[in-house]
Each structure stands twice: as structure tokens, then as C-alpha cells.
Structure 1
Amino acid sequence: MGGSAPFAADLMNGATAAELTFQLPDPEDDGISQGEFDRQVEAAWQVCDRFDLQTDIWRGRILRVVRDREKHQNNGEGTGHGFLRWLKEREIGKSHAYNLIELADSADELVQGGLLEEEDVNQFSKRAFVETAQSPREVQQMVSDAAHKGDRITRREVRQLADEWTAMTSDLLPETVREKAANNTIPTRYIAPLVREMEKLPEPHQEQLRDEVEASPDVDTIKQATAEARFLAKYINAASQVQALDREGLDLEQALEEALRVGCLSATADLVNQASQLEQMIARLFTTWKRIHSLSERVYLDSGASTPQLRSLLAHLEPLSGEILELQLGEPGSNLSQLIRLKILPDES
């Protein structure tokens, strides 16, 4: 997106960066009421927030220009080394740079798409603007209309509108729940999280939860269904990553059904998730141990009688570099003290 319509460089009704100064209230002034103190501080904070947003949008545009220049010079086949070098010289992380470019793209899309006027951007806090850019088109329109009327847009307002839209339009919810959301019989703050969790699930589980909610469309059922959907997603995601479960004779779906039937879904999901994390830790442990073992051998070969302290260091590290790993938990001699031993066995294959 190269030829975007520029925002006005003066961010706060003609204020420049050099003029961005405030007369903040004296924190030790007992003559100012707490309400007035809060008002003055909040007003200054909002100006900084808007300035920060505009600055980051322009930073994103600058970064985009630098990136696209390199692409152009290399006929669209550049490796990006020049852009990365430019970032490194300015101590800008790659992920942060692309976040700024995404913010600039979002700003240009909202303005060029006719949803926002240039001056309306000043109504947003930075986080609210990012939230708006990530919202559905209908939510963007509602937020933009509010900003155009002069309303101050915070992240809370954007999320509230997004929750309302989700609760009243999602096909994952039964019609009775959507109607209750529309007339505010059930607050949307309970319904939207359920939809977000259900979106992570396969269709059969979505239908099961939908039937549960339809049978009893109230807040308690929705909260219970949300928790159940969260645990289901956790179980399904973790189970696919656990190597120990990738064997014949185990029906993961049936195990899930049994956990639901006996009421231990939460514990089962946590068990599978912990197993996934343990397998990853074992892999990292083995890789790190091999590295320590190799480095210890190299240092041993490079050292000798003339380096007694270096040899002493190797001896002290023996509990971590040998085939049996040892670690003392807690203070030695205390009731909570425990010596942990792990043995690395050779690969028989």
C-alpha cells in the first residue's frame, strides 16, 4: 500500500512534538480535589495516547517505505537483508517493525475505505485503534460512526461493541440466545467468550455445546459451557502434540467422552496439557545435556595440569554432564530437601 493519503502532520490541533508539554497537577497540593486531579491527569494521558498512536502509524509507514524500496530494487525478489540491516542500525526488532507496518496498513485501509476521516483517528487510544482494525467490518463501521460523532474511543468500547455483534450474529449460538443478547436479557459479556471458545472446536463438539445452551439458555449454563469449551480445546490441542498418545489402542475421542461423563474434563485436559509440556522439556533437557557433555569433553582435552581450577570447574559440573544427572532441591539437611537423579540411557536402536 504505497500511495496512501497522508494524515496531517500536526497531531493535536496544530501541536508539534516540541509543543507537547503539560502543566500537570502538583501531587502534594491538598487544595485540589481528587476528582479534578484525576481529570487533569486523564486529559494529559489521552493526549499522549493519541500522539503515540499517530507516531506509530507514521513509523509503520516509514518502515513500509524502506521495506518496499528494497523489494522494488530487487524486482520483488529481495532477501530483506537491507531492510533488516536498517532495523538493526536503529535497534528495532523485526516483529515490532512488522507490527508497526500492520498498524499503518490498518490505518490506511480504514481511511481509504471511507470508514474513518483523517481527523477521527485522534478520537482513539492506541490499543482501541488496533482492536478496531482487528474487528469485523460491521464493528469497524459502528466504531467509526462513534468516532465521527466525537466520542472518545477506548479499547473497552470497541470490545463491548464487538461482543454485542458476536452475540447477536454468531451462527454457533441458538436463536434463543441471540434473542436474549439482543434484548439484553443475557449480557453479551457472557456470550462472546463462549463463541470465541467454540470457534476453536470441531463441529461435533460445537453442536453438542449448542444443544446444551439451547436446552437451558441462562447465564449459568453459558458460563459452564464456556469453561467446558475451553477445556475441550485445551484437550484437543494438547493431545495432538503428545507423542506418548500417538499409539494404537487408544481412542482419544472416546477418552474425552468418558472424561465428560464422569465429570473430570478439567483434570483430564490439564493432564494432557502437562504431558505435552513435559515431553517438550524432556527434548530440551536432552539437547542441552548433549551440549554440556560435548563442551565438557572439549574443555577437558584443551586443559591440563596447569589449569587446576578449570579442572575443578569440570569436576563440579560432573553431576550435570555425566550419564546420571543430579540436582539438590531445597537446602541440604532440611525436611524439604530432596536429591533428584535422572539417568540418560543410550539409544538401544
Structure 2
Amino acid sequence: MSDLPETTSEIAAALETPTDLEFQLPDPEDDEVEESEFQQRLDEAWLVCERFDLQTDIWRGRILRAVRDREKKGGEGRGNGFLNWLKQREISKSQAYSLIQLANSADTLLQEGQLQASSINKFSKRAFVETANSDPEVQKLVSEAAENGDRITRREVKELSDQWTAMSSELVPDTVKEKTESGSLSPRYVAPLVKELEKLPESHLKSIQQEASENPDVDTVKQLTSEAKNLSKYLDAAAQVQAIHNADLDMEMALEEALRLDCLNTASDLVKQATNLEQVVAKLYTTWKRVGSLADRLYVETGASNPHLRGLLSALEKLSNDTIEVPLDESSDRVVRLKIIDENQES
């Protein structure tokens, strides 16, 4: 038996006559192939491609990192050599740093002992990236599953991430955790509730937690998740509306009434739209001031000998005057008129 190539140059030489990936894909028009078999054979081929792609991209990231770090140490110091290297190989800067990040993530997982090198082949590329971006506890759960021989896709990563979120959060009542641990309540319903509760101040958690504790079932958890989401939207939007800040209004009492009448979703949408309206009005004002300033400048720079430019200014008076007129349709049957009163300008 001939010796296997050991150095990078020997490996490159061995690959000069490449061995292409070759699959015996099922004929899509062959009715004798059962649908389950057809899908399984394609799935297996796809998995091989993903594993090959993942390994390749990790090594590309390591190569790019070596080029970048070499230049940092003794190169031009301005990144030109690295950028030229990318240009020659038609690699964008964002793509290069994405690959470097992937390589860094792989090396970190390996060095910290979270993952064995042989287990990388169990991952799809996107699942590996998501694992690398997950919390260390989730990385450990995923790595253990991979080492046990499980195939790791994004679905498995999400399931394990949801499981960790549901079981580790102190915001979830024990009754909910017990249901989750027993399998009667899926973590995929509990994890979104945890994420919404994390956005709320402590004063608004108790009632939701009490309801979840008394009724730890799927329907209640989903309802409470929606309620917590609307509550978060309400509080965030209310904090941004200037009209509310300048009014003698108890927002907590308004919130309690909305909850009692089961119209929190409507109230939160109203406050959100009010925020949008204030932002649109502020942008409208600054744009209107800009249009007026440019119109005044153009008027000064032109004269009666420039009738077409003067005609342009006349046509735009409906937008530069204190009263703005904008048709809502091409027929101009419906026109909106907005009068802008600049108090600072009047004073």
C-alpha cells in the first residue's frame, strides 16, 4: 500500500486528478421507486454535499485567516495585500470574514472540548453555524447529540435551544417546567414565552406567571406569549410617543383597563401607529423646510429670462407654501391639504 500524502503540497498534488462526487440519484420519472425511498436517497446525497461544503468552508476560513494575520504581522499593515489576495480569487470581503468567523467558531468549539473533530461530519453547514452562535450550554447539548451519532440539522439545534431556554429560565413557573420535562408540553411553545417575558419589567411578570402556573397547557402558554408580546409592544411604543409624555395620563391604569377589556392588541397597535405618525410628521417638516430653502435659492439665482425654471417654482408652490396640497390619486379628485404652523418661525 502506498503512503498517504502528509504535507499540504503532497495533498494538492494528489488532487490534481480530482475524484468528483458521484451519486446514483433516483429517476424522478420512475414510478417503481417509492416516494419514501426517493426522498431518502436524495436526502442522503444532500447530506454528503453539506458535510463536504462545511469542511471546505472551515478550511477556507482558516486559510483566509492565515493570510490576514500574516499581513498584520509583517505585511503592508493597511490590508491591501489581503484585499488583493481576495480580489485574485474573486472573494468578497464580507464573504471572507464570514468564512473566517466560521473557522474561528469551529476552532473554539474544538479547543474548548465542546466538540470532537469527527463529529463535525454530523452537521449540516447551517446547523453548524447556528450551533457556533448559540449559548455554551446549547453548544454542549448539540455536541453531545452529534457525538451520539445523531444527524444535526437546524431543526435539531432549534429543538435543543428551545429545550435549554424552557428548562433553564427562572421566569417560567415550576409547573410549566415539569410539564416540559415530562414531554406533555413542548419546549417550542415555552421558549417563545420566555423570550417575551425577558422583555418585560418585573412589575408586569407576576400575573402572566401566575396564569401559566395555574394552567400549564399549550393553549394557555400560546395565549400568554401573545399577551406578553403585545404588552411589550405597548410599553416600548408608549415610551416613544411625545403626545403621551405631554399629557396628564396614567399609562399603567390605561394598560390595566385594556387588559380587563381584552383589547390590549388594539391599544398597542394604536400606540405604535401614533409613534409612526409622529416620526412621519417630523420627517415631513424637515423635508418641507428643505424644499422651501431650495426653492428660495433657485428663485434668487434665476430671473424673468428663465421662464421654464420659474414655471417649475410655480408648480412646486403647492409643496413649498405653508399649506401643502397633495392629490391622493391621478385624477386629483381627492386632495389632502396640510397646514404647517412653525411656532418658532412665528415668534
Q: Same fold (TM over 0.5)?
A: yes
Shift of 1:158: 0.9
Structure 1 portions without partners, runs of 5+: 1-9
- 2:136 equivalent in structure 1: 137
- 1:3 equivalent in structure 2: none
> What is the RMSD of the two structures over their aligned residues, measured on CA atoms?
3.8
- 1:272 equivalent in structure 2: 271
The answer to whether 1:258 aligns with 2:257 is yes
Deviations 1:11-46 (Å, cap 9, x if unpaired)? xxx899994677766666777665555445444543
SS in 1 for 2:205: helix
When structure 1 is superposed on structure 2, of 55-64 and 188-197 the one drifting more is 55-64
Partner amino acid, structure 2, of 1:166: T
When structure 1 is superposed on structure 2, of 234-243 and 317-326 the one drifting more is 317-326
- 1:345 equivalent in structure 2: 341
The answer to whether 1:234 aligns with 2:233 is yes
Shift of 1:54: 4.4
Point out the structure with max Rg over C-alpha. Answer: 2
SS in 2 for 1:152: coil
Change (3 A) 1:279 1:26: farther
Shift of 1:281: 2.0
Report the TM-score, using the length of structure 1 for normalisation.
0.76
Change (3 A) 1:344 1:105: farther
Shift of 1:247: 3.0
CA–CA separation in structure 2 for the residues paired with 1:44 and 1:195: 38
SS in 1 for 2:327: strand
CA–CA separation in structure 2 for the residues paired with 1:112 and 1:104: 12
Shift of 1:113: 0.9
Partner amino acid, structure 2, of 1:213: A
Partner amino acid, structure 2, of 1:344: I
CA–CA separation in structure 2 for the residues paired with 1:87 and 1:304: 57
Change (3 A) 1:100 1:260: farther
CA–CA separation in structure 2 for the residues paired with 1:84 and 1:179: 54
- 2:288 equivalent in structure 1: 289
Deviations 1:33-92 (Å, cap 9, x if unpaired)? 655554454445434444554455456556656776787689xxx9x8879987997784
Partner amino acid, structure 1, of 2:286: T
- 2:7 equivalent in structure 1: none
Shift of 1:168: 2.4
Partner amino acid, structure 1, of 2:341: L
- 1:326 equivalent in structure 2: 325
Shift of 1:241: 1.7
CA–CA separation in structure 1 for the residues paired with 2:181 and 2:236: 33
CA–CA separation in structure 1 for the residues paired with 2:57 and 2:283: 38
What are the residue-to-residue correspondences of 1:309-320 with 2, within 5 Å? 309-320=308-319
CA–CA separation in structure 1 for the residues paired with 2:67 and 2:21: 28
2:123·2:153 contact (CA, 8 Å) conserved in 1? yes
Shift of 1:159: 0.8
SS in 1 for 2:114: coil
Shift of 1:314: 4.1
CA–CA separation in structure 2 for the residues paired with 1:311 and 1:52: 63
Report the TM-score, using the length of structure 2 for normalisation.
0.77
Shift of 1:194: 0.9
Change (3 A) 1:61 1:273: farther
- 1:113 equivalent in structure 2: 112
The answer to whether 1:214 aligns with 2:210 is no
SS in 2 for 1:342: strand
Partner amino acid, structure 1, of 2:47: Q
When structure 1 is superposed on structure 2, of 318-327 and 47-56 the one drifting more is 47-56
When structure 1 is superposed on structure 2, of 130-139 and 264-273 the one drifting more is 130-139
Partner amino acid, structure 1, of 2:215: S
Partner amino acid, structure 2, of 1:275: A
Deviations 1:107-149 (Å, cap 9, x if unpaired)? 2221111112234333222332232223332321121122233
Shift of 1:215: 1.9
Change (3 A) 1:58 1:324: farther
Shift of 1:175: 1.1
Change (3 A) 1:63 1:232: farther
Partner amino acid, structure 1, of 2:343: D
CA–CA separation in structure 1 for the residues paired with 2:306 and 2:68: 52
2:179·2:185 contact (CA, 8 Å) conserved in 1? yes
Partner amino acid, structure 2, of 1:198: L
Partner amino acid, structure 2, of 1:183: S
When structure 1 is superposed on structure 2, of 85-94 and 248-257 the one drifting more is 85-94
When structure 1 is superposed on structure 2, of 314-323 and 52-61 the one drifting more is 52-61
- 2:5 equivalent in structure 1: none
SS in 1 for 2:273: helix
Partner amino acid, structure 1, of 2:122: Q
CA–CA separation in structure 1 for the residues paired with 2:63 and 2:299: 52
2:67·2:82 contact (CA, 8 Å) conserved in 1? no
Change (3 A) 1:331 1:58: farther
CA–CA separation in structure 1 for the residues paired with 2:231 and 2:85: 42
Change (3 A) 1:278 1:141: same
SS in 2 for 1:325: strand
Q: How many residues align?
A: 329
Change (3 A) 1:258 1:26: same
Deviations 1:128-179 (Å, cap 9, x if unpaired)? 2232223332321121122233432111111111112222232111111111
CA–CA separation in structure 1 for the residues paired with 2:298 and 2:56: 51
CA–CA separation in structure 1 for the residues paired with 2:109 and 2:48: 21
